[in-house]
Structure 1
């Protein structure tokens, strides 16, 4: 006779196990079906001794089972004890192969050990059965694996770990104790890692225990028949291809939902995206009434979140009203929303009104809103202004905003409910390209850059929609502001986003002109071969375009275009570009005027003598990603070091620049001083979020710096140092009357003064001081100047 229960739980992961424990605690008829001979197979398969964290720390735990940060073994032991004490009805070895809802309303669950009936089913099966592979030739070679059980099994090996999530980081750190470890991160930061793991991997990299390839990805894995190593991996890196000989490759690339099985149960996914999760209600119920989903399968992989969901779903099944653990936090945010009643209503309004956020589940939206802020600015209030250096992202929940696209004419366009803005600065790192003002009844959701990038990286549908709007607006802004998105649909559909590594060529002098490139991220150099030498003629930052000359003149490329730094462009084919010209006759005249100006500027640079070499020199010093660079004219500099002394006097005794350090060419010296990059490397992986950019562009470090040193390690130009605040310098009268301390022009602080706890310091361009940077103001000969990349060509010509 088939057993029947009120609740059947499929999978004994944190969510499923917590649900079964709550059912047992409430005395509800239940069964917990687990395919393995042990509980929580996902945690069981963690590497031995792995430290398991209990994030998010702000949430309380709701479960009859205990959970606090500790080793894998401690946590599994506590759960085993808790399940036994509560007398949870566990059936091991019962792999569920089918779940069918009957006409009478109950479910029949078919397992490898027999069938069960249940009034309600809770699925907590996780994702571990569908591991993502490398997706390159050689992904199934014998020395390539996708799991690590015990890092102590390997010793003296060269191990490549592929991935940037918590599992990859933990594997890499554990293996590095007795192996040579290389970690491959496709991006330029560990954006998805928990804070403890982030700190650990960055320290290991800085200490030299782990080698990291940022912005790199595998191209293939090959077995070797000769040599001491069994294989090698070929990587695409920002500096070109690299080959690494290795004993082992461990790829930790996450997993996808067991979609075929889930869909066979009648559960629907919102789209065909392999990374999508089933659509579920705030009570965790799927489209199949009575079938609930908790944990990673529902988009919540964190243990504490899953355990809370397991507890809550049982309460919902029993008809109880239970406030989610994050409810008080969200209520505090939504209190700012006009007409706010309940958190659930506010979340529903946001998801219904903003198409971009319709791609995520209500549970993912809750997490998204914990990182965001609700704003309700008054009509006419500026949201941000043109040329501000801010990079938050905005969704319009209600009302409208006015985008001022031309400050001289006052031309504005309206964006309404459901639209978003701020994507250009978010992606490019450049200043805001327009001013935005609140319209009537405006309600916005403002999301920090890091949180928005995490969403973009984890939900493909969100990335696709932002990219589509970015391309549309970039074409509108640069070429045809009067055209609507509908008018440009065919051109946008033909456009594509291209990525280029530093020094990679977009097109070469003499090539046929087949496309135009709008620079989305990074910058480009334009050069020509003159007298057998490659001469850089100009610099093209994000927001500008290249390639129109050949298309307007229907001729070959007149110059070579290269990526100065890692760069992304929007490529428009010649055919699409000609469609734009045909639709707007005035555009051709405008571009021809710009064409003549650019040709004249290039010709002037070609006759600039030594100036053309200065451009190349400065591009090599990172001006391609800078927004402000300190330069010193060695022909005028008298080595008085007033610049350093003034900097120290202005910044509590520590100079932010080193005049002598740095390269020199043709009397143009680049001292060690902050370049205030478009995408500041120092901002990446700052645990307390202490590094900020003012609306005017200065990158500075706040007082909440904890001295972790991540920014110092991440800066490629060596302009950040760890320094303690030194003893306060005696005043001028104390020096005059009593000889206390040092005087004007002398070493500013006593060498034996004991500094306080060290924190990161760097140039902030004297952002709060009237008159601008002290280093420039204090130079008696005018040798010190600050320039932006836009001034580069003019500066180089002046040096000829």
Structure 2
């Protein structure tokens, strides 16, 4: 006859162990089933010596098992001792293969054939047994592993760690902890930020990168695994590096097949979706409860609180509130409506589109990082040009977007359920418009890192944000009086495509009418002339291409390829053609754009007939500009060395405009022919420096300038992330005496940057360093001082649409 229990707990991780501890303390008949020969297999598999964090710090621990931040071995030892002292009924080597029956009479079958009977089942099995695997050529090679037990086992190896979460970062730090091991450790992250990881881990990783112990490669993904090497796709193209071992920590997914076989339904068909749960953790199968990572709550303290709470609920304590209830009550205090925490969470989840697929448990964790605000009709939520990178979701009411500063009455509505603020989230630019409450409105404000985490962990949220931002980008770019209703059919065909550096989206001579909108990155347009590809034009983010074949009906007249790693919106040509037929103004614009491209083609054809060397020079100069960062720039300083006399007035003017510290190095940088690109900020469309700024001190101005404000804490992340070496860390010296004081009395340094002796004498040793870079003289009347101070006109500031003109000018002077 099968053993019978009030509660069967499957999985002895933090959630399951806490549940068992509570059951033992209450004297409930229970069994804790663990398929391995030890407790808490997830923590047990942490690398040796790993520091286990106890976050969130503000959340109280509600459990009969103690837990404080500390080393893995200490945490495990404490739990083993307390499980024994509480009398937890543990059954090790108990691998559950099937759960049948109903509430009050579940039959739990074990791998050895034994059957256990239980009135209630708590699934605390986690997700670590179902890791995401590498899906690239060579992804099955034997030197790829998905677990790291002891980082001290590996010596003198080139090790690649793939994964941007806590596990990946901690593995990389462990492998690089001892310099005597001689490991060369590289961590890869497909995005620019480590949105999934805890702040403390990210800071430790950045410190290791700064110290040269770990090579951090962001915006990088593996494309092929070789025997002793790995091929990588980076933002600048493909590269191959040595690789003796790969530690792939790319997350995991719930063991869906097993859980669904138990009768539990999931929130969606997404591979990483979680089970549907009630606020008391009960699944759609009555009597089966789900807690821990399988419920979407991976943090240890959350898991342990859930284990405690679910047993209390099964024992009849239905009035028990979750441990985070006081924190959430405070967030909702002062809002109209008088709802309970549970009601507010459901209200926000159901009414804000990007939150629809979060479970009640995920909503609780999400709201700990976010804020909810109420605005009376007419109140300003934010103003144009304000710094800000948070995202807003409208839970009730609607907002108005001001379309014209000259006429504030010209507005466009954004309705309940939608979002706004996505421009600041995606690009880091200042707010593009003033937003006011069109009626009494409740909004959820989601900080940038919380929004990135939401997009990284909830596929449906990422899709919703992407769809909304895509539609708005198309409306903004095409204009011509278009509305959301006009784009319905076009949006049905719109597809976001990631394009590797050097990869073509259009090939000369092929058939096709699809339109491509450049969402991020940039493209170059080339045409074969005399069996050689000749540069035609440069297309920055916000441009579109492909209309010539659609309007003329012929084959593609040029090749369009990514200058750097880019993202495009692919729109079906037939759908866009139908829109052109219905919108004459849009058709007129498309024809004007096509005419401009034909002018470029005609220029190249004319030069080809008269002097082929000019075409080669034109193409070479343009390619040089793209290779030196112009491919992602919005504004760059160029120097014509035919005109430059080396007076250094540009550097002196820069220093005198910025507290005595020049942001420009005229002699550094590369030169082609007589066109020189000095070391000065490119003001990238998607700035790498902005990717990981803890205080959000880096912003984009209204004119596109990227600048660092006074909240900089001197962490150096921006300096490390800039691929062009244009940021440096300096102590800000005191304001220099006036020029007259220097001329007549010799007080202070002269024009330009002070020498080190003056700085050392006037700056205290403990003065913190801050990041400095070109800001295009933002806020200074007359524009960039370097250009104004050049006596010969050699220094010019060039915007993306002018790059081609510079290339053409260079060749026409031959």
CA deviation after TM superposition for structure 1 residue 273, in Å: 0.8
Distance 2:191 2:126 in 1: 26
With over 3 angstroms needed to count, the CA separation of the structure-2 counterparts of 1:557 and 1:214, relative to structure 1, is same
The offset of 1:274, in angstroms, is 0.9
Question: Does structure 1 retain, via aligned residues, the 8 Å contact 2:520–2:685?
Answer: no
Pair 1:648 & 2:659 matched = no
The offset of 1:677, in angstroms, is 1.6
Instruction: Tell which deviates more after alignment, 425-434 or 174-183.
Output: 425-434
For residue 311 of structure 2, what is the aligned residue in structure 1?
314
| SS of aligned partner of 2:496 | strand
Alignment check: 8 A CA contact 1:645 1:748 kept:
no
Task: State the shift of 1:757 in Å.
Answer: 2.9
Do the aligned partners of residues 570 and 424 (structure 1) sit closer, same or farther apart at CA in structure 2, a change above 3 Å counting?
A: farther
Once the two structures are TM-superposed, the CA of residue 366 in structure 1 deviates from its matched residue by 2.5
Q: How does 1:65-80 map to 2 (within 5 A)?
A: 65-80=65-80
Counterpart mapping for 1:530-569 below 5 A: 530=529, 534-569=533-568
1:125-524, aligned counterparts within 5 Å?
125-176=125-176, 177=178, 178=181, 179-221=183-225, 232-244=229-241, 246-317=243-314, 318-319=316-317, 321-335=319-333, 337-339=335-337, 341-380=339-378, 383=381, 391-403=389-401, 412-423=411-422, 426-427=425-426, 436-479=435-478, 488-524=487-523
Mark the CA change 1:641 to 1:209 in structure 2 (over 3 Å): closer, same or farther: same
How far residue 719 of structure 1 moved from its aligned partner, in angstroms, is: 0.8
Cα distance change on mapping 1:487 and 1:657 into 2, 3 Å:
closer
Superposition pairs for residues 662-677 of structure 1, below 5 Å?
A: 662-665=669-672, 667-677=674-684
Q: CA deviation at 1:320?
A: 5.1
Q: String of CA shifts for 1:270-315, please: whole Å, max 9, x gaps.
A: 1111100112233323223443222110111121221222233334
Find the counterpart in structure 2 of residue 630 from structure 1: 637
- Match for 2:665 among 636, 653, 658? 658
Give how far 1:411 is off: 6.5
The count of corresponding residues between Structure 1 and Structure 2 is 792
Query: Closer, same or farther in 2 for the Cα pair 1:586/1:246, shift >3 Å?
Result: closer
* SS of equivalent residue, structure 1 residue 457: helix
Moved more, 476-485 or 288-297: 476-485
Distance 2:444 2:292 in 1: 26
Calculate the TM-score normalised by the size of structure 1: 0.89
Match of 2:611 in 1: none
CA distance in 2, matches of 1:650, 1:554: 54
Q: 1:601, 1:386 → 2: CA distance?
A: 36
Q: CA deviation at 1:127?
A: 0.8
Counterpart contact for 2:238–2:501, Cα < 8 Å: no
Q: CA deviation at 1:646?
A: 3.8
Report if the CA contact (8 A) 2:731-2:768 is conserved: yes
The CA deviation string for residues 311-330 of structure 1, in whole angstroms up to 9 with x for no partner, is 33334444254443434443
Pick which of 12-21 and 507-516 moved more: 507-516
Quote the Cα distance in structure 2 between the aligned partners of 1:482 and 1:649. Answer: 46
| Partner SS for 2:161 | strand
Shift of 1:534: 4.5
Query: Which digits, 9 at most, give the CA deviation of each residue in 1:599-620, with x for residues without a partner?
Result: 3366468779777765443322
- The answer on whether the counterparts of 2:195 and 2:456 sit within 8 Å (CA) in structure 1 is no
Partner of 2:610: none
C-alpha separation between the residues in 2 aligned to 1:92 and 1:773?
71
Unmatched segments (≥5 aa) in structure 2: 608-613
Q: Give the Å deviation of 1:266.
A: 1.8
Q: Counterparts of 1:734 and 1:484 in 2: how far apart (Å)? A: 61
Question: SS where residue 263 of structure 2 aligns?
Answer: coil
Distance 1:795 1:63 in 2: 68
1:721/1:122 Cα in 2 relative to 1: closer, same or farther (>3 Å)? same
Matched residues in 1 for 2:26 and 2:487: separation? 60
Deviations 1:509-557 (A, max 9, x none): 3333442211112222223345666443333222221010122111232
Counterpart selection for 1:714 from 721, 727, 731 = 721
Post-superposition CA distance 1:129-176 (Å, at most 9, x none): 212221234444433322222222232333333322222222233334
2:233·2:500 contact (CA, 8 Å) conserved in 1? Answer: no
- Work out the CA distance in 2 between the residues paired with 1:661 and 1:246: 34
Shift of the alpha carbon at 1:736?
Answer: 7.5
Q: Which moved more, 1:548-557 or 1:176-185?
A: 176-185
The whole-number CA distance in structure 1 between the counterparts of 2:311 and 2:540 is 56
Rounded to whole Å, the distance in 2 between the matches of 1:648 and 1:60 is: 52
| Alignment match, 2:580 | 581
Moved more, 63-72 or 369-378: 369-378
Displacement of 1:42 in angstroms is 0.6
| Contact 1:429-1:521 within 8 A present in 2 as well | no
Q: 1:658 to 1:331 in 2, by over 3 A?
A: farther
Q: Please show how residues 48-127 of structure 1 align to structure 2 within 5 Å.
A: 48-102=48-102, 105=104, 107-112=106-111, 114-127=114-127
* 1:627–1:789 contact (8 Å) kept in structure 2: yes
**Contact residue 14 and residue 306 of structure 1 kept, 8 A:** yes
Describe the SS at the equivalent of 1:62: coil
**Whole-angstrom CA distance in 2 between matches of 1:601 and 1:394:** 42
Distance 2:36 2:759 in 1: 66
> TM-score, normalised on structure 2?
0.87
